[in-house]
Amino acid sequence: MAKLVDIHIHLVDEDYKSLFGYLKAYLKSSDTILVSVSVDLETSIENVKLAAEFPGKVVPFVGVHPQMADRADIDGFLDYLVKVKDVAVGVGEIGLDRRLGSKQELSEEQKKVFRVQMEVAEKLGKPVSLHTRGTLKEIFESLPSYRLKNVLLHWFAGNEDDLKVAVDRGYYASFGPAMVCSKNKRRLVASMPQEYILTETDGPVRFGGCFRGRMALPTFLPSVLFALVSVLNMPYDDVLVLIYRNSERYLGVKL
């Protein structure tokens, strides 16, 4: 039976701490599958523990976010990833972000942390969830250097030409609550092959527009699905099955 899938959410983020009781109750009562991504060693450990508490409902990704690259214990993280390689389903959230520094330049440490995580994802045969803010060009240039199981361009923010490059290479792109309010996001989704579409919330990020600055929760997912129903002109149940199967194919596991 197909279920809702959030392919990119930060369940162990500090902003969710006050809502953790609610989130755990939601996990117990809901059939939704949440792919919880990490930003450093600490959140990677927490995600693996949370997945053990909610098997089949929380899918753990471990990784070091570019925002944490300059102060990350990358050796400690890599040691941990090898230790949990049979439990961690993927590597993420990883990537590059030129907007982190005042000069909008990529630090050597950020590039190194990205490179070594891509190398280990390749070695272990893990899918990656990529952060590409302002760096799609650099990431597109680097990806052919690796033989990766599957690639997700999370919160896709490129244009139609970028999207064509992505799908021609077999990369997935995920869309979230922004698509509910954005005509541009809807046009992008409508222009891509359906087999590469995934859904996310990226919680606890806050969304403006029709969400009025509210913190994203897994309960936003039905709104994202209904937006896809409108864009793809398909029944809700068919869209649900489509995203579920796409998620299984990207993750490389049965959900």
Domain locations in the chain as residue ranges: 5-251
Which of residues 103 and 249 earns the better pLDDT score? Answer: 249
Retrieve residue 21's tokens.
């009781």
The pTM of the full predicted model, rounded to 2 decimals, is 0.96
CATH code of the domain occupying 5-251: 3.20.20.140
Handedness of CA 61, 244, 190, 237 (dihedral sign): negative
pLDDT at residue number 103: 63
Check pLDDT > 60 for residue 57.
yes
Counting Cβ atoms within 10 Å, is residue 127 exposed (0-12), middle (13-18) or buried (19+)? buried
User: Strand pairing partners for 36?
Assistant: 9, 60
Q: Are 27 and 51 in contact (CB under 8 A)?
A: no
Tens of pLDDT, residue by residue over 74-113, are: 999 999 999 999 999 999 999 999 877 656 778 899 999 9
Q: Where are the beta strands (DSSP E) in 11-140?
A: 33-36, 58-62, 90-95, 128-131
